[in-house]
Amino acid sequence: SYELTQPPSVSVSPGQTARITCSGDALPKQYAYWYQQKPGQAPVLVIYKDSERPSGIPERFSGSSSGTTVTLTISGVQAEDEADYYCQSADSSVVFGGGTKLTVL
């Protein structure tokens, strides 16, 4: 079955740039989507169609795609950005990555 691979954890200091990757063989032909999930809360969409940002999401969140890897970039990380981040895409069905815990040091 199709898998999306994310690093389990990423740590950055406040004000730095965090980059979270997601790899999958079908990503060159399928869009990727990113969700932020804080403890005890439902996921929130932060990036759609690889690089589009929904209204209400801060400009410091951006997405990019290159080959079989997509990247969520958070510029000028703030303490409130500490959360789990999941990528989502599809091959023959919808698939989520395993999630990355972003720690703000």
Partner 1 sequence: QVQLQESGPGLVKPSETLSLTCAVSGYSISSGYYWGWIRQPPGKGLEWIGSIYHSGSTYYNPSLKSRVTISVDTSKNQFSLKLSSVTAADTAVYYCARQDIAAASDGWGWFDPWGQGTLVTVSS
Binding mask 33-52 toward partner 1 (x if CB under 8 A, else -) reads: x-x-----xxxxx--xx---
The answer to whether residues 35 and 20 touch, using CB atoms and an 8 Å cutoff, is no
Q: How far apart are CA 36 and CA 93, in angstroms?
A: 21
Q: Binder to partner 1 among 66, 94, 103, 105 (CB under 8 A)? A: 94
Between 9 and 17, name the residue whose CB sits nearer to partner 1. 9
The reply to whether 61 sits near partner 1 by the rule CB under 8 A is no
Of the CA atoms within 13 Å of residue 42, those in its CB half-sphere come to 2
- Are 89 and 26 in contact by the 8 Å Cβ rule? The answer is yes
Q: Does residue 56 belong to the site contacting partner 1 (CB under 8 A)?
A: no
Q: How far is the CB of 14 from partner 1 (least distance, A)?
A: 26
